Amino acid sequence: MYARRPFGIEETHGMLVQPSTKIKACSDGRDWTSLFTSVQKEMPFQGVFQSSRDHLIVLHRDGPVQVESLTDRKIGRRVIPAGGIHIISPGVDFGIHLTAAIETVHVYVRRSVIEEVALEMVDGDPARIDIPNAIVEGDKALHALIDASAFAVEDESLGSSMFADYMSRTIASQLIRTYSKAKLKGGGRMSMYPSLSPTMSEAVDYMTANIDTAINLADIAQAINRSPSHIARMFRTELGMPPHRYLINLRVDKARRLLEKTSMSIAEIAYECGFAHQEHLTRLFGRHTGTTPAAYRRSKRN
């Protein structure tokens, strides 16, 4: 099981704390335990940084820009276009020479999460899973996952710990499937269920019973004695959505019922349904229903 401590900036390579780096949004200080994400403007620099215990993926939001690896001859000197992705493995010192200013997204995934997902995906010892350093272009799936992580740190309403738990495992799955040489287990995708499985029902029951608290993927997994990656896959397979989105749906549905049937204030309803504050409820309620909580309540009483 991965560490339950928040994933802080002090666990990264050190590039992000350089005085010339201008961070725009960052997950540091949040309760994200399996994933770290930062969006920043990086100015030209050259340096060698101590190894990290975790995997780093860097998305170049603009470019092209010339980048030279100071520690990996396989990478060498490359011109990376906008949308290029640099994958950096843990356990070795990392050196880079960046020749021009560029906006980047740094996403760190805990090594323990990679191994947890590998346990269910590949044959052999998950501790031996190797995802080598690489610069890749055209991986639309990985690009989209990094973009989603960046959006979550730029919009607090989306950046729950459950979102981070789910996203870390989805990124891990993409890295293992696409960039490791490990042999994937057979069986393909799980079949869709006509109704919820008993395990899925337990997970939903737990979420419903604890809807007013800060739930993350590890909490659900512990409650029903499954791994977080197993829970994430169950939600994709049986409900067609990640756990954090399903939890938001549950909260919005409960808020809708309370608006219809009670005289509770909107702030009280927000608290009762597990939203951070009234504005958080209003924002997500609007995305789901196209109206505000106050307007919805009026429409049901007229």
> Domain residues of the chain, as ranges?
9-179, 198-240, 246-301
The confidence score (pLDDT) of residue 275 equals: 92
The confidence score (pLDDT) of residue 192 equals: 30
The confidence score (pLDDT) of residue 193 equals: 33
Using pLDDT thresholds of 50, 70 and 90, give the confidence band for residue 13: very high
Instruction: Measure the CA–CA gap between 102 and 94, rounded to whole angstroms.
Output: 19
Is 25 in contact with 154 (CB distance < 8 Å)? Answer: yes
C-alpha distances out from residue 97 to 23, 66, 67, 72, Å: 19, 8, 6, 12
Q: Which residue has the tokens 């007013």?
A: 212
Instruction: Measure the CA–CA gap between 244 and 161, rounded to whole angstroms.
Output: 9
Give CA 193 to chain center in angstroms: 26
Residue 187's CB is within 10 A of a number of other CB atoms, namely 6
Q: What is the mean pLDDT of residues 32-45?
A: 96
The confidence score (pLDDT) of residue 273 equals: 93
Give the mean pLDDT of the chain: 88
Residue 142 above 50 pLDDT? yes
pLDDT of 68-87, one tens digit each? 998 888 788 888 989 999 99
Query: Is 121 buried (19+), middle (13-18) or exposed (0-12) by CB count in 10 A?
Result: buried
| Topology match between the domains 9-179 and 246-301 | no
Question: What is the separation, in whole angstroms, between the first and last Cα of the chain?
Answer: 52
Q: Which residue has the tokens 């997950």?
A: 27
Residue 101 above 60 pLDDT? yes
The confidence score (pLDDT) of residue 159 equals: 72
The confidence score (pLDDT) of residue 2 equals: 45
Q: What is the mean pLDDT of residues 40-46?
A: 96
**Comparing 198 with 67, which gets the higher pLDDT?**
67
Which amino acid is it at 67?
V
Percentage of the chain modeled with pLDDT above 90: 59
Residue 190 above 90 pLDDT? no
The secondary element (H helix, E strand) that includes residue 68 is strand 65-69
Chosen CATH of 246-301 out of 1.10.10.60, 1.10.1040.10, 1.10.10.10, 3.30.70.890: 1.10.10.60
* Domain 9-179: top CATH class: mainly beta
Token pair for residue 18? Answer: 């350089």
Residue 189 above 60 pLDDT? no
Residue 187 above 90 pLDDT? no
pLDDT of 241-294, one tens digit each? 899 989 999 999 899 989 988 989 999 999 999 998 999 999 999 988 889 999
Nearest to 117 by CA among 163, 177, 169, 183: 169
Residue 44 above 90 pLDDT? yes
Residues 6+ apart with CB under 8 A from 288: 248, 249, 252
The confidence score (pLDDT) of residue 157 equals: 67
Percentage of the chain modeled with pLDDT above 70: 94
The confidence score (pLDDT) of residue 205 equals: 84
